[in-house]
C-alpha cells in the first residue's frame, strides 16, 4: 500500500473538532492562570501541565459530543445523499441480474404459496409433519433471499455471501426433510424446544453479568413442559443441533456436512466454508474480499462496493431454485414440474447475466 506523509489538511471533521476543542481548552486554562496573576511563563507551563490532563478528560468529551450532535444532521444528510447516488449507480450496473433474480423470487413465492394452500388441509388431517416443516423453512428461505438482494443493492457483496450461508442451510435442511419420512420432520420440529431450553439455561447463567433479566422459575418450568411434550412425541431428548437427523443418517451426533452429503450437495462444502470466512474472525487479507476484487491497488474496505456480485447472485439463485424445487416436487404434478424447470432456467440466466454486468 502506498505510504505518504500525513497532511494536517486531511483531518476529518471529527479530528478537526477534537483539535479545535483541545486548543480552546488549553487557551482557557492559560487565561485562568493569567487571571490568577501568574506572569512567569515557566509557572504557567507548570500549572498547565498539572491541570491539562484532568481538564481534557472532563471537558473534551462533552465539548466534542455537543459539536458532533450539532453537526450530525448535515453530515448524515450528505452521507445519505452519497448512499442514494451509489445505489442508483450500483443498480444501474447490475440491473439485468437483479431483474432476473427478483423475478425468480416472485415466481417462487407465488408457486410456494399455491402449494401451501393446496396441501394444508390434507396435511393437517394426516399429521403430515414434512409439510409443516417445509412450510416453515420455505418462507425463511424467501426472506433470506430478499435480504441478500437488499445487501447487494446496498453494495455489500461479502455480507450477501454470508447470508447465502444461511440460505444454503435452509435449502439442505428442506431437501433432507423432503427425502425422509414424517418422523424425521417431527424430530426437526421438536428440536426447537430442546434448543430453547439450552439457550435459556445459558442466558440465565450469564444474566447478571450481562445486565439481563433472567428467565423466571415459572418461565423455565413452561419451557420444561414443552420439552416433556416433545420428549414424549419423539422418545428422546435432542442434545445437539443436528441430532434430529440421526436416525435417517444412522449416526450419532451428526453434523450439517452429513446432511449435505445425504442430499448430494456435499460439493458445495468449499463454497459454504468460503461464505463462512466473513462470519468469523479468522485472518483474511483485505484483498480477498469480494468488494475489493476489482481494486487496482490494496485497500481496506470499510464501506460500499459495486464489485464482486456475480458469485453471491448466482449462488443465491441456485439455492432458491433448489429449495423451491424441494417444495414443489414433494408432491409433484405437471404444473409443478414445469415451474421447477422454469426456475432452473432462470437460475442459469442469473449467472450469465451477472457475468455480463460484471464485464461492463
CB atoms within 10 A of CB 74: 10
Pick the last residue of a domain from 73, 98, 130.
73
**35 and 165 both lie in a single domain:** no
DSSP 280-348: S-S---GGGSGGGTT-SS-----S--S---HHHHHHHHHHHHHHHHHHHTTS--HHHHHHHHHHHHHHH
* pLDDT at 70 (0 to 100): 86
* pLDDT at 152 (0 to 100): 98
Q: Is 353 part of any domain? A: yes
Considering its fold, how many domains does the chain have in total?
A: 2
Grid cell in block for residue 146: 430478499
**41 and 123 both lie in a single domain:** no
Closest to 291 (Cα-Cα) out of 271, 273, 311, 276: 311
pTM of the model: 0.84
Pick the last residue of a domain from 22, 44, 73.
73
**175 and 275 both lie in a single domain:** yes
Coil, helix or strand for 235? coil
User: Structural domain of residue 23, as residue ranges?
Assistant: 8-73
**14 and 148 both lie in a single domain:** no
* pLDDT at 298 (0 to 100): 82
Give yes or no for a contact between 310 and 360, defined as CB atoms under 8 angstroms apart: no
DSSP 114-147: HHHHHHHHHHHHTT-HHHHHHHHHHHHHHHHHHH
Q: Is 354 part of any domain? A: yes
Closest to 233 (Cα-Cα) out of 124, 123, 129: 129
Q: Is 196 part of any domain? A: no
**64 and 99 both lie in a single domain:** no
Share of the chain above pLDDT 70, in %: 83
**175 and 261 both lie in a single domain:** yes
- Between CA 95 and CA 22 the distance in angstroms is 49
Q: Is 199 part of any domain? A: no
Q: Is 201 part of any domain? A: no
Pick the last residue of a domain from 18, 45, 73.
73
**355 and 260 both lie in a single domain:** yes
**68 and 133 both lie in a single domain:** no
**21 and 165 both lie in a single domain:** no
Q: Is 342 part of any domain? A: yes
C-alpha distances in Å from residue 59, one per residue of 23, 37, 54, 64: 12, 24, 8, 9
Q: Is 191 part of any domain? A: no
* pLDDT at 129 (0 to 100): 97
**49 and 125 both lie in a single domain:** no
Q: What is the pLDDT of residues 243-276, one digit of tens each?
A: 999 999 999 999 999 999 999 999 999 999 999 9
- Band the pLDDT of 147: cuts 50, 70, 90: very high
**147 and 106 both lie in a single domain:** yes
Query: Which residue carries 440466466 as its cell?
Result: 349
* pLDDT at 4 (0 to 100): 39
* pLDDT at 63 (0 to 100): 73
Average pLDDT, the chain: 89
Q: Which residue has the higher pLDDT, 97 or 38?
A: 97
Q: Is 249 part of any domain? A: no
**346 and 268 both lie in a single domain:** yes
Q: Which residue has the higher pLDDT, 31 or 206?
A: 206
Amino acid at each position: 500500500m502506498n505510504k505518504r506523509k500525513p497532511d494536517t489538511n486531511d483531518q476529518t471533521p471529527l479530528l478537526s473538532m477534537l483539535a479545535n476543542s483541545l486548543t480552546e481548552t488549553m487557551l482557557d486554562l492559560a487565561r485562568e492562570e493569567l487571571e490568577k496573576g501568574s506572569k512567569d511563563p515557566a509557572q504557567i507551563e507548570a500549572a498547565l501541565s498539572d491541570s491539562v490532563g484532568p481538564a481534557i478528560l472532563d471537558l473534551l468529551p462533552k465539548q466534542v459530543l455537543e459539536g458532533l450532535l450539532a453537526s450530525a444532521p448535515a453530515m448524515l444528510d450528505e452521507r445519505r445523499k452519497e448512499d442514494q447516488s451509489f445505489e442508483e449507480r450500483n443498480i444501474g450496473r447490475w440491473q439485468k441480474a437483479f431483474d432476473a433474480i427478483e423475478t425468480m423470487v416472485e415466481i417462487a413465492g407465488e408457486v410456494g404459496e399455491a402449494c401451501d394452500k393446496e396441501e394444508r388441509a390434507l396435511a393437517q388431517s394426516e399429521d403430515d409433519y414434512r409439510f409443516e416443516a417445509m412450510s416453515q423453512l420455505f418462507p425463511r428461505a424467501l426472506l433470506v433471499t430478499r435480504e441478500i438482494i437488499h445487501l447487494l443493492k446496498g453494495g455489500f457483496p461479502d455480507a450477501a455471501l454470508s447470508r447465502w450461508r444461511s440460505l444454503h442451510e435452509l435449502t439442505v435442511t428442506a431437501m433432507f426433510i423432503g427425502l425422509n419420512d414424517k418422523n424425521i420432520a417431527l424430530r426437526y420440529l421438536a428440536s426447537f424446544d430442546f434448543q430453547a431450553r439450552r439457550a435459556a439455561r445459558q442466558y440465565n447463567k450469564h444474566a447478571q453479568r450481562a445486565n439481563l433479566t433472567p428467565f423466571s422459575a415459572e418461565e423455565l418450568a413452561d419451557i420444561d413442559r414443552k420439552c416433556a411434550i416433545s420428549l414424549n412425541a419423539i422418545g428422546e431428548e435432542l442434545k445437539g443441533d443436528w441430532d434430529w437427523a440421526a436416525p435417517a443418517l444412522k449416526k450419532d451426533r451428526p453434523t450439517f456436512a452429513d446432511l449435505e452429503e445425504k442430499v448430494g450437495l456435499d460439493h458445495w462444502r468449499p463454497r459454504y466454508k468460503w461464505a463462512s470466512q466473513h462470519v468469523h474472525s479468522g485472518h483474511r487479507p483485505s484483498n480477498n474480499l469480494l468488494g475489493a476484487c476489482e481494486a487496482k491497488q490494496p485497500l481496506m474496505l470499510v464501506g460500499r462496493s459495486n464489485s464482486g456480485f456475480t458469485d453471491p447472485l448466482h449462488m443465491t439463485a441456485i439455492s432458491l431454485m433448489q429449495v423451491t424445487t424441494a417444495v414443489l416436487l414433494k408432491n409433484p404434478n405437471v404444473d409443478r414440474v414445469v415451474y421447477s424447470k422454469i426456475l432452473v432456467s432462470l437460475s442459469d440466466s442469473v449467472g450469465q447475466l451477472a457475468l455480463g454486468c460484471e464485464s461492463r
